[in-house]
Amino acid sequence: MSLPVLDQESYELVCSEWVAYAGDLLRQQGYLQTDPTGIYDAEFAAAVQAFQAAYGIYEGNEIGPQTWAALGVSEGDAVPGASQSTSAEYEHASYYRDEDTIHQASDTSPTTAADPGLEVFAGGKRYIIFTDEVRAGGTISWRARNPGNIRSGDRYGAYPGKKANTKSAGSFAVFPDEATGFEAIKKVLHGYGHITVAKAMNKYAPAQMGVAVDAYVDALDDAQMDVFATAIKRVEGWTEGTAFRLDDPSLPAEVQTGIRGY
């Protein structure tokens, strides 16, 4: 897999496991003082600049081939992909529902979530409450219905003020449904304006993006944008965890309280 070229312009709004991966390496070498968030923010940029200066690298504050090599990463190394991560962003559930429990609850009146988008931490697990179900485990993108790992999503249709949290990668927007989260990816891409696909996402999906890298983002039609957004979803990671009915009696008491609102 080709190593991506990371720059601040492309990753200051969208969280990426590639940035988190590079951040882990920079922190191990003492250039980043806090846990990596996956966002190319000012602190991360300063760490990159300091590292490049120490190694005599001139890549314009981008993490390119020279910087990756200095960090000890080569083209053939196993690096973050759809099924792996160096951070706790991907917390997989170690428990599953008994399907009989689901059927037993099917004759009851549906429960209404008092505060959709609320995250509840119980028993060492993070649960997110939606209007139709509760999600736990899986990747953060699946759990928050946020396939693009967008951090600030209020203006893109996310639940206002609601966040899904991780141990070391920070917090992410929670979307009411997967379709809204998917459309948010395309809105972020459109916001980049008249720049090429390669520059817009700067190797966001380094292989098989489905659209020409020299195409301009604002010239992509709806079908091409869907293909590009799907590639981003794949690269960001979309591993399903466990989905519970709102009235599932196996849910922890804290989660049931969060559903009721009292």
* Best CA proximity match to 150, nearest among 5, 10, 34, 16: 16
Strands 134-136 and 171-173: unpaired
Contact 166, 37 (CB under 8 A): no
| C-alpha 236: how far from chain center | 6
- Does this model's pTM top 0.75? My answer is no
| C-alpha 160: how far from chain center | 18
- pLDDT value of residue 107: 44
What tokens were used for 167? 């141990």
Residue 94, burial from CB neighbour count under 10 angstroms (0-12, 13-18, 19+): exposed
Ramachandran region of residue 68, left (φ > 0), alpha (ψ -120 to 50) or beta?
alpha
Q: Rounded distance, CA 52 to CA 79, Å?
A: 21
Name every residue whose Cβ is closer than 8 Å to that of residue 213 and which is 6 or more positions away in sequence: 196, 197, 198
Q: What is the pLDDT along the chain (262 residues), one digit of tens a residue?
A: 578 888 887 777 666 778 888 888 998 889 988 887 778 888 898 999 999 888 889 887 789 889 989 998 887 665 664 333 333 333 333 333 333 333 334 444 457 899 999 999 998 889 999 999 999 988 888 999 988 888 888 889 999 999 998 876 778 899 999 999 988 888 877 776 665 555 555 534 444 455 555 666 566 677 776 776 666 666 656 688 899 999 999 999 999 999 998 8
- pLDDT value of residue 152: 84
Contact 51, 70 (CB under 8 A): yes
Name every residue whose Cβ is closer than 8 Å to that of residue 212 and which is 6 or more positions away in sequence: 197
Contact 190, 168 (CB under 8 A): no
- Domains in the chain and their CATH numbers? 8-70 (1.10.101), 99-178+239-254 (no CATH), 191-236 (no CATH)
Q: Rounded distance, CA 45 to CA 118, Å?
A: 32
- pLDDT value of residue 105: 41
Q: Rounded distance, CA 41 to CA 36, Å?
A: 10
Phi and psi, residue 245, nearest 5°: -65, 150
For residue 6, give the DSSP letter. B
What tokens were used for 232? 């981003």
Helix (H) or strand (E) holding 127: strand 125-129
